[in-house]
Amino acid sequence: MMLTALGLMSGTSLDGVDVALIETDGRQIKAFGPTGYRPYTDGERSLLRQALTEAVHLSRRDARPGILRQAEQAVTTAHAEAVASFTAQTRISAQDIDIVGFHGQTVLHRPERKLTVQIGDALALAKAIHIPVMHDFRAADVEAGGQGAPFVPVYHRALAQSLNREGPIVVVNIGGVSNITYIDGTDTLIACDTGPGNALLDDFMFRQMHQPFDTAGKFAALGRADEAWIAQALRLPFFTLPPPKSLDRNDFASLKLDAVAPADGAATLTAFTAAAIARVVPLLPKVPKSWIVSGGGASNLTMMRMLRERLAPAIVEPAEALGWAADAIEAQAFGFLAARGLKGLPLSYPATTGVPIPMTGGIIARP
């Protein structure tokens, strides 16, 4: 049975809430619906940055001390407003949406401690929008010993079914953290986080230039990357670990570049993201022939250029070039995952998160 699913995603880039409608049975995608976006205000973004700092001290998934309770309320309100705006603009009734996939805002990811924390009140959201809400996608995987990330590979595979090209293919998502899905035409998925995405660069731009991000990579294009610094950073043990593996947004926060010229720092951090993605190639079964880039990084022209240089001779192209909605793929994915969760289908696999067996997940909050 086909379901109309609305996916909501607020990533570690802290830019805002992506909204996307899809029609799916949890296995195939019948149709893509409209998409939407509700940016965070400067105040909300500042609150979330404080929440990330506070969350480092958490030892329980359900704890919301201090600023975290306020941040959770803000995240819930922002998502409710995103859905209200989306339904008003598209004239799609809440009654026509079967399920909402609500990821929430990750503030801590420590799978080695069986701890992953996404803030956002699903029950309050369900009551506000009058639609059942599937949430808490990652908890079962982490509790079972998986990494709890990445979770989008099963959707990447569904997207890739429509492609007519020689593999292997890798789908890259560059959000706050970068992750890849390796697809070779078999039933086996391989996935992992590769390193920083936009988080280090965004934080640097915020500190140095009081800007939330480097628009289209224009600032990094003015600088020169410090290849020695990148080579040193790539010596961290994480980069030699085989897939599956995952990261917290702040795992590389100790890598500082504040003493360099701002443009050079932006260029270096952009190149570091590209180099970390390229570093995964020797860890894959075969060298990929095609790389499809989604997420905010796909809009960074300097990052795309650096990826093409480091991944040559493979084809590197933004998801938009294939007719995919690059900025909405993760939101679409959580609509897709909500449909799978409703049907008890697996959301994660041993080769995507390291979980011992294929795992379903998610909890439903009803209005």
Distance CA 247, CA 197 (A): 11
List Cβ neighbours of 100 (8 Å cut-off, separation of 6 or more).
5, 6, 7, 8, 83, 125, 126, 129, 131, 132, 133, 134, 335, 338
Rounded to the nearest 10 degrees, the angle between the axes of helix 301-311 and helix 262-278 is 40
Q: Which amino acid is at 1?
A: M
Q: Report the first-to-last Cα separation within the chain, whole angstroms.
A: 23
- The CATH number for 73's domain is 3.30.420.40
Whether 104 and 178 map to the same domain: the answer is no
Whether 94 and 210 map to the same domain: the answer is no
Whether 123 and 165 map to the same domain: the answer is no
Whether 205 and 292 map to the same domain: the answer is yes
Distance CA 367, CA 357 (A): 32
Whether 313 and 354 map to the same domain: the answer is no
Pair of tokens at residue 224:
């020169």
Distance CA 126, CA 121 (A): 9
Q: Are 277 and 195 in contact (CB under 8 A)?
A: yes
Cis peptide bond prior to 132, omega within 30° of 0: no
Query: Which residue range is the domain that position 303 belongs to?
Result: 153-322
| Number of compact structural domains in the chain | 2
Whether 318 and 334 map to the same domain: the answer is no
Q: Is 277 helix (H, G, I), strand (E, B) or coil?
A: helix
Cα 25-28-30 angle, rounded to 5 deg: 80
Whether 272 and 167 map to the same domain: the answer is yes
Nearest to 156 by CA among 191, 186, 195: 191
Distance CA 262, CA 292 (A): 29
In the beta sheet, which residues pair with residue 6? 21, 100
Whether 117 and 28 map to the same domain: the answer is yes
Whether 144 and 265 map to the same domain: the answer is no
Q: What is the pLDDT of residue 258?
A: 67
C-beta neighbour count of 69 within 10 angstroms: 14
Q: Are 352 and 244 in contact (CB under 8 A)?
A: yes
Distance CA 310, CA 304 (A): 10
Whether 167 and 245 map to the same domain: the answer is yes
Q: What is the pLDDT of residue 12?
A: 86
Pair of tokens at residue 212:
């939330």
Whether 285 and 353 map to the same domain: the answer is no
Nearest to 229 by CA among 209, 250, 198, 200: 200
Nearest to 7 by CA among 24, 127, 142: 24
Whether 216 and 345 map to the same domain: the answer is no
List Cβ neighbours of 73 (8 Å cut-off, separation of 6 or more).
121
Per-residue pLDDT of the chain (367 residues; tens, 9 = 90+): 999 999 999 988 899 999 999 999 999 999 999 999 999 999 999 999 999 999 999 999 999 999 999 999 999 999 999 999 999 999 999 999 999 999 999 999 999 999 999 999 999 999 999 999 999 999 999 999 999 999 999 999 999 988 888 889 999 999 999 999 999 988 788 999 999 999 999 999 999 999 999 999 999 999 999 999 999 999 999 999 999 999 998 888 888 776 799 999 999 999 999 999 999 999 999 999 999 999 999 999 999 999 999 999 999 999 999 999 988 999 999 999 999 999 999 999 999 999 999 999 999 999 9
